[in-house]
Structure 1
Amino acid sequence: MKFPFTCDTVAEHVADLPQACDVVIIGGGVIGVSAALYLARAGVQVTLLEKGRVAGEQSSRNWGWIRAQGRDLAEIPIAIEAQRLWRDLDADCQGRLGVRTVGVTYLARREADLAAYQDWLDAASGSGLDSHLVSRADLGKVLPGIRGNWPGALHTPSDMKGEPWVAVPELARLARDAGAVIVEDCAVRGLDMAAGRLAGVVTEKGRVRSAEVLLAGGAWSSLFLRRHGVGIPQLSVRCTVVETGPVPQVTGGAAVDGRTAFRPRDDGGYTIAPSILSELYIGPDAVRAIPKYLPVLKSGGFDVRLHPRAPRGFPDAWGTPRRWADDEISPFERMRILNPEPNRGRAQAACDAFSEAFPEVGAVRPRTAWAGMIDVLPDVVPVVDRVAALPGLTVVTGMCGHGFGIGPGFGRVAAALVRGENTGHDLQRFRITRFGDGSKMVPGPNL
């Protein structure tokens, strides 16, 4: 079965390209769409430009978790805000986003995991979360019917889930109805600079004048920034996900261990994924950035598989151009949607592990398998910042697999940033300069 968002699907958003607006957003994922929604609701003339399809890439390909559990301490307040916003947005959409409180459980593989969970709980105390440790004897209370030898778990009853490839397009419709202009099949080739500051963007369909631009380009952000002299050590890793189709509903919760991650779906099946597998295609950016990733790689907990080269047209493929002129076809037009092949062997292994954990469900086979490219940074937290070298540009990228759940929160924060307003959160941890000012890379929680 084909993944829902590919370029042979009919574009929904075909508005005419405006000559000018207050804010241009590059990227139609959950953060770009959320920012467009909150800007439009504030009366800002905002134009969102998407090279392919809204939610065509990682924003629709993720697990669908909306969690605060295990987050970096700087992210927790924004994750909690995002959960509130998800509930409000689901009400705005008459429940179509599939948002539901299911609880998230991290099953410990060994006693050392429980110690790490306790360390995180201690650090996160006072945040207002209802996270707590669960003993081996009590696992059946949070995940009835589960079978296995885990020594315990970390559990957050208030964590939630949504249906990504339904939710983000619905948010785009909300933004459009609020006054945002959304144009699909419209790649931004570069920034239009004048007198040392941003004057708009150059697209394949023409120029748009704007004093403010928000880049929320996911796996493509680093490539776009490099063309304008801004380097960040962002890479992208392939992760595989499956959906089962309707099967016996053995658990209503979401959980993860060392082999599998799962959560219930609104269609009566489960979304299942290999839990810690990340596949990195080696390219020029990866070679440059690897030294900055050593701290997180040494911390363990990630199953990183290296591939010598990316498929043609991927952001860090050896043949992908790093420079192009405004009147040339850009890499963003050559690959409208980043649509990697899934790792089918690991997909089935994850399903087998789910069956072992819940024997009464029987053998599980993927009905659909897909993969996405997750934008990552060396300390496992994003960049959310104004770019001093390019006045007028705001960047929100490198969500490290956390983007869907926290998306409305960072979208609301981005909307405040571009308007010069107080975001309500301390964003020091997410500054873009941390990669070049000598700051030590301090990885976020590897949970």
Structure 2
Amino acid sequence: MTDTLTPVLTANWGDDRAWKLSNYERTGGYKALRTALAMQPDEVVSLVKDSGLRGRGGAGFPTGMKWSFIPKNNPNPTYLVVNADESEPGTCKDIPLMMASPHTLVEGVIISAYAIKAKYAFIYVRGEVLHVIRRVQQAVREAYSAGYAGRNILGTGVDLEIVVHAGAGAYICGEETALLDSLEGRRGQPRLRPPFPAVAGLYASPTVINNVESIASVPCIVANGDTWFSSMGTEKSKGMTIYSLSGHVANPGQFEAPMGITLRQLLDLAGGMRNGGQLKFWTPGGSSTPILTDEHLDIPLDYEGVAAAKSMLGTKALQCFDQTTSVVRAVKRWTEFYKHESCGKCTPCREGTWWLVQILTRMEAGQGQEGDIEKLLDLCDNILGRSFCALADGAVSPIASAIQYFREEFEAAMHTPAWELFPYEKSSLFTKTDAESGATV
């Protein structure tokens, strides 16, 4: 079973001081950059396009195709922006990557910027993770000192300035246009599109915005070729990717495997559910995706397989919950997060998430009223697809799917508190002793 793992991005995570330039170079680091600089920029774009790499930030849009949207005759400069504002509940792949091997990202940034002919690249990192910001900044400094970044890179005449920008701590800035507003010094709020960032993005100039894992995947494609990359994964979802397994799992963590692996296989690798428990429900791509149940254990974890199950692969944040968990409480906690993180720009999201929390709070306490389930579904229907960005869609997705699969729990909320049906101490990942010591089970 362990043969299903394909450590590429994570291959050096266990090495001693893997984040240092000298250790990264020892394992072949920056050789791909030299290869790319010997190619024409358009050849690099074609290589990435032919590899079948799709965006690893959630949407799954073909990376090479996104690069090719940059207009050729625009007089404004072209910018590359890396979205490292990882804030989705349950998502934890980009931050470990930047901590363990920041040069993998930095090399990807330099190659990608060269491909789209950008002379400025911005790495927008979530503001709360100061230790990650410092590590990426140090990696960028090392790259400058070694001649991999800055002016006249490796004597080729190519210039690139890399800026590591600390975000202001808002989940909404993970949305690419809100990120651009924040990067420009304004309040992070999504923009109405069109125009799209490829035409008028950062500073109203052509801009490519990619996720950390997407950019970090570029060096291995340049080094090994598009055929090598596309030999992994499925027909329409190529390559390897990092799956984040968390929750009621015996050994949670990051598992790098070909696209299309199943949750059953990943759970086998992780030692199964904790204490021999039974999987009740799980999220395939973080809390903003419709939940799935144990009947979906064998669906391929690629974009098409998860979509066929009426959910989304998203960020591949596989949060697993066992039979001790209250679905009502889980979706209520997620909805509280989205209510808090709504930027307030559009009414459906600002008002709708507030009302969803009010109803779910009442139901969690066993004080649901007749018609509450229908009201929840009606609110979800009126919010879905009616906001500036996908935050509102993500807020309602777990609610509607939870009612679909566990309607009886919402019906029980009309008369019985969730904590009586599912005592919270049983579903907690912490015991009282663990909480006092700071250790986790």
TM over 0.5: no
* Higher Cα Rg, which structure: 2
More helix by share: 2
> By percentage of residues, which structure has more strand?
1
Higher relative contact order (CA 8 A, sep 6+): 1
TM-score (norm 1): 0.29
